[in-house]
A = this chain, B = another copy of it.
């Protein structure tokens, strides 16, 4: 019997196409409102996979939209009951369910604290988070029944990419973004062997994911998928941070998954991968760079034409398949991972 997880991974091309059709006009209008409000900076409040979508926004809005984007520390609001000055900020809440208490609390007080505008991104357009913001983007992903977020994560990235398109992506961005559903379908196809190949990691107890820049989010998202679906202690690193201490943990056979597609971070990622190779690490690589993929024990390819700014929407897919395959190799029932509830009411 097909699991929810497997079905929802496969649904992603359709979900992304639907989102493009349904929300392009709304997002263009929201981008107009953002330009008119001229925010000083952006604060995003999110947890779990949605927080990884926020990381994508940090780089995409920062590099292309000329906006400083910070991640919120929601416990300042919910536990310390303090009121950091949000004068002139665009405050964005991202939540699959829209029922998490933290983003709702932060967004409902943001305007009082001076925020220029609030925006929420949820899959449930009737949720409290959808209602509390000035503007709302719905994901149109359909019910996500797997406890692990897959289609709602790539849909969150698509919503952000559309926003970034209007706020400063290079010419031709619309044509590029229209191709994403096809690239995701192609990636699923190129990685048909990945699910079975995960078998070699059956007894892995821990690993590191390595990425930088736009795909820093992909490293975090892959780590969270591995933890929740396979119980492997996976930690995400920026290749820059990894040189400040933690690289001491790399010994021969140490498992590394690098996310290194074509783009401005390719040189620094290639250098980091070489340092891991020198220490005898066991390396898997998600990339569209042929010469780099050849150096991996496990190659996780994505299409060659994917531009860097959209690559996180595609590069996460081989990681999802790897986590799915490894959960099967380890005999874990992915639709009922232990100790997890779909909606987390964090206070």
Residues of A within 8 A of B (CB): 40-41, 43, 47-49, 51, 58-59, 62-64, 66-71, 73-76, 79-80, 82-89, 102, 148, 205-206, 208, 212-213, 216, 224, 227-229, 231-233, 235, 238, 240-241, 243-251, 264-265, 268, 279, 337-340, 344, 346-347
A31 to B75, CA, bound (A): 25
By a CB distance below 8 angstroms, the chain B residues around A247 are: 339-340
A199 nearest CB across to chain B (Å): 20
Are B231 and A233 closer than 8 Å at their CB atoms?
no
21 of the cross-chain contacts (CB-CB < 8 Å) are A40-B40, A41-B85, A43-B70, A48-B241, A49-B244, A62-B76, A62-B80, A62-B84, A66-B82, A68-B70, A73-B216, A75-B265, A88-B88, A205-B205, A224-B245, A229-B248, A231-B249, A233-B249, A243-B344, A244-B346, A248-B340
Closest to A244 in B: B48
Are B41 and A67 closer than 8 Å at their CB atoms?
no
Are B240 and A75 closer than 8 Å at their CB atoms?
yes
Are B85 and A73 closer than 8 Å at their CB atoms?
no
Are A248 and B227 closer than 8 Å at their CB atoms?
yes
By a CB distance below 8 angstroms, the chain B residues around A244 are: 47-49, 224, 344, 346
A231 to B208, CA, bound (A): 13
From B87, B206, B241, B279, A339 is in contact (CB under 8 Å) with: B279
- Indicate whether A70 sits within 8 Å of B71 (C-beta atoms), given known contacts A40-B87, A347-B268: yes
- Indicate whether A228 sits within 8 Å of B246 (C-beta atoms), given known contacts A79-B212, A85-B67, A265-B79: yes
A279 to B245, CA, bound (A): 31
A40 to B244, CA, bound (A): 31
Are B75 and A212 closer than 8 Å at their CB atoms?
yes
Are A249 and B265 closer than 8 Å at their CB atoms?
no
A58 to B231, CA, bound (A): 31
A301 nearest CB across to chain B (Å): 24
By a CB distance below 8 angstroms, the chain B residues around A233 are: 206, 208, 233, 235, 249
By a CB distance below 8 angstroms, the chain B residues around A87 are: 40
- Indicate whether A59 sits within 8 Å of B85 (C-beta atoms), given known contacts A48-B241, A233-B233: no
Are A40 and B88 closer than 8 Å at their CB atoms?
yes
A279 to B244, CA, bound (A): 33
Closest to A61 in B: B84
A262 nearest CB across to chain B (Å): 14
- Indicate whether A68 sits within 8 Å of B89 (C-beta atoms), given known contacts A102-B240, A248-B337: yes
A63 to B40, CA, bound (A): 21
Closest to A229 in B: B248
A248 nearest CB across to chain B (Å): 5
By a CB distance below 8 angstroms, the chain B residues around A206 are: 205-206, 233
From B51, B70, B227, A246 is in contact (CB under 8 Å) with: B227
By a CB distance below 8 angstroms, the chain B residues around A48 are: 241, 244-245
A238 nearest CB across to chain B (Å): 8
